[in-house]
Structure formats: C-alpha cells, structure tokens
C-alpha cells in the first residue's frame, strides 16, 4: 500500500467521523440544524476507501445515511453544513436538509424514502454507457432498503442491460430498531443477489487497507467490463438510528454487541497501524486532524453567516425548454375538424 493513499483514506475516515461528531456537539442547544439526521459514525470505512478510487465522472446514489459518501466524493463541507442550517448557500439551496443531501457539482444524490436512489443508479449508469463516458454509477443501500421490491427490479435490469454499477450494501443489521433476523430468514443480502447472475462479494473486517485492495480490483473490473458488481459489507452504526441523541435506552441491542464493534473500530485500528510507530507519525496524524477540524469549523461559520432562501415555491418547475424558439400559432384556425372515429378493440 502506498502511504499517500493510506493518508488519504485516513483523512477521509477522520473527516467523516469528526464532521458528524461536531454536528452532534453543536446540534443542541443551538437548535439551528432543524432537520432529521442519520449519522454514520462507525460506518465510515467503505466511503473512506472509495474516496481515492472514484473519478469525477462517477456518480453516487445513496441511502439516507449519506454523509460519508458525500464527503468521500469531495463534496463541499461548507455547502453541507449550510444545507443542514437550511441556508441558500447549502448544497440543495437550503430546501432539503440532511435526508436528501445532493449536489450536482459532484454528481451525488441521496434520499430517505428507502430504495429510490438505489434504483436511480440504473439511469446514471445507462447515461454513462450511452454517452461513452468512463464513469460508473455507485449505488449505496442498507440491509433494510434491500427488502423493497424495486431493489430486485433494479438488480435484474442492471444485469440484463449490462450496466456499469457498483452496488454497495452496508449491512448494519438493523432497520431502525428491528434486527435483520426478525425481518428475514436470509441474513446475507448478497446471497439473494447471486440469483440474478450478478458478481457478489462479502466483506467483514476493520482493516481499511484490505478493503481498499478489494474495492480497487472490483472498481477496475466494473470500468473495464461495464458490468454490475454487488458488494456487501458487514458494518455497525455506533450512534442512534436518527438524530444526535442515542437510542440505546430502548435496549434494542446488547451492550456486549456495541462494545465489540467499538473495540474493533476501523479508525482506531488504522490509527494504530499507520501512526503509532514514531513521534513523527503521531505529529502527522495530529496535523491531518487539525486540518480537518479547521475545515469543519470554517463550515459552521460559513453556515451561520449565510442567509435563508427568500422563496421556495418558484423551484417546483424549471419552466424552460431546450431549443424551442417559438410556440406554434395558437389561433382557432390551427388544425381542422377531426374525422369521427370508432375505437376498435385492443
């Protein structure tokens, strides 16, 4: 592994984690980010390693736990925090919030009604193939989203149409507070996907280097063959399902389980692996984290200073046409009397 790539992966891991920790810290009592948020603390590993593997022409269609992928795709942190504040400088112009964080600048789209974005990747990948672009569609879903019907329509069409899509299922074992085992007899979503004649890979581990090498070969294959590939990763969210508050007081998951995952936190693992061997390396770690904090802190100030959008209702329609110079004469003489007809059976 090149150290420069490892540094980038660590920078991503830390930026994703720190951004969310800062949001959680500043959420109350200020109450300036007034939208539901699904944090991905604990699930940073996949977006962080994808960071160095993506090109600008790739597009991401994400589930609602999307912050990590937005950051990994180099989305502006300023625009992200401003969006959570509902300000006009936000990535969505302040009209959508965290649940539908999207940015055309980085071809990143997300949504919270479960599996719609997953299916959108079909269109993104189709367009890239149609226009002979190098990019691929990256479609991210959770184990809960995998239960919707549209997922199976999409998987079938992706293989049938040979579309260059990287499917990622982040299996964190919970749909809100309901366990996977309570919802299905097949606990590995990737097993269901195999039947569509799609290549699948299952990853369980906390070493970002291992995941990077795996994803590097998969992404290359998708670019070369223009065929979809489905990757399932076993992961865990440390935070509650939604909002800055935890939800462990509901006792829907055991302390033992939580502690197991926190002990095996990929970020802690990676810090030890990369930076524990010398003081110089420790200083480098601090430098990366200080820089990340500056980016985040600046973003909050940017959001504070920005204004709320003045209007909203004018955004429902684009109300423009492509290449239409004038409309046809609307006068009464246009057209002639229609002939009578009898509908035939179909």
Footprint of other proteins (CB under 8 A): 61, 88, 92-96, 100, 102, 104, 109, 111, 113, 116, 119-127, 130-131, 137, 149-150, 153-154, 156-157, 160, 309, 312, 314-324, 326-328, 330, 332, 334-339, 341-346
Q: What's the min distance (Å) between Cβ of 135 and other proteins?
A: 11
Q: How far apart are CA 174 and CA 144, in angstroms?
A: 7
Name which of 32, 38, 156, 139 is nearest 87 in CA terms: 32
The minimum distance between CB 71 and other proteins, in angstroms, equals 19
Judged by beta carbon, residue 90 or residue 266, the one nearer other proteins is 90
**Residue 202 — φ and ψ, nearest 5°?**
-115, 130
**Smallest distance from the beta carbon of 116 to other proteins, in angstroms?**
5
Q: How far is the CB of 330 from other proteins (least distance, A)?
A: 6
CA atoms within 13 A on the CB side of 334: 6
For other proteins, the closer of residues 90 and 240 by Cβ is 90
Best CA proximity match to 17, nearest among 196, 253, 238, 187? 238
Minimal distance, residue 55 CB to other proteins, in Å: 17
CB 237 within 8 A of CB 42: yes
Q: How far is the CB of 117 from other proteins (least distance, A)?
A: 8
Nearest CB to other proteins, comparing residues 160 and 191 = 160
Residue entry with tokens 């006792």: 251
CA–CA distance, 119 with 141 (Å, rounded to integer): 10
Q: Are 64 and 38 in contact (CB under 8 A)?
A: yes
Q: What angle do CA 49, 51, 54 make, to 5 degrees?
A: 115
Give whichever of 74 and 273 is closer to other proteins, judged by the CB atom. Answer: 74
167 to 3, 11, 191, 201: CA distances (angstroms): 27, 24, 14, 10
Residue 64 Cβ vs other proteins, minimum distance, rounded to whole Å: 12
Q: Which is nearer to other proteins, 195 or 254 (CB)?
A: 195
The Cα 144–Cα 179 span in angstroms is 9
185 or 332: whose CB is closer to other proteins?
332
Specify the residue for token string 């810290």.
Answer: 25
* Bridge partners for 165 per DSSP: 137
> 204 vs 346, which CB is nearer to other proteins?
346
């Amino acid at each position: 592994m090149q150290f420069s790539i490892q540094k980038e992966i660590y920078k991503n891991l830390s930026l994703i984690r720190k951004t969310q920790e800062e949001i959680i810290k500043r959420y109350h009592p200020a109450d300036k980010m007034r939208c539901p948020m699904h944090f991905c603390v604990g699930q940073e590993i996949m977006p962080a390693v994808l960071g160095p593997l993506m090109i600008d022409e790739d597009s991401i269609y994400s589930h609602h736990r999307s912050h990590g992928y937005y950051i990994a795709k180099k989305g502006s942190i300023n625009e992200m925090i401003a969006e959570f504040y509902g300000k006009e400088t936000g990535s969505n112009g302040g009209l959508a919030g965290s649940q539908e964080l999207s940015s055309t600048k980085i071809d990143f789209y997300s949504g919270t009604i479960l599996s719609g974005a997953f299916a959108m990747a079909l269109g993104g990948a189709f367009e890239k193939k149609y226009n002979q672009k190098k990019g691929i569609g990256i479609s991210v879903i959770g184990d809960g989203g995998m239960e919707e019907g549209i997922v199976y329509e999409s998987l079938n069409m992706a293989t049938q149409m040979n579309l260059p899509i990287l499917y990622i299922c982040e299996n964190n074992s919970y749909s809100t507070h309901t366990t996977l085992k309570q919802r299905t007899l097949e606990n590995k979503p990737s097993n269901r996907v195999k039947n569509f004649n799609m290549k699948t890979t299952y990853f369980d581990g906390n070493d970002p280097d291992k995941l990077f090498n795996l994803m590097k070969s998969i992404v290359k294959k998708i670019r070369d063959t223009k065929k979809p590939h489905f990757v399932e990763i076993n992961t865990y969210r440390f935070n509650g399902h939604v909002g800055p508050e935890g939800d462990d007081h509901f006792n829907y998951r055991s302390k033992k389980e939580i502690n197991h995952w926190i002990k095996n936190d990929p970020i802690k693992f990676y810090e030890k692996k990369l930076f524990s061997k010398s003081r110089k390396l420790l200083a480098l770690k601090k430098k990366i984290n200080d820089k990340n904090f500056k980016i985040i802190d600046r973003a909050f100030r940017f959001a504070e200073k920005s204004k709320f959008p003045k209007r909203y209702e004018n955004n429902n329609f684009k109300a423009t046409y492509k290449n239409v110079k004038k409309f046809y004469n609307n006068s009464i003489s246009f057209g002639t009397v229609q002939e009578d007809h009898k509908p035939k059976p179909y």
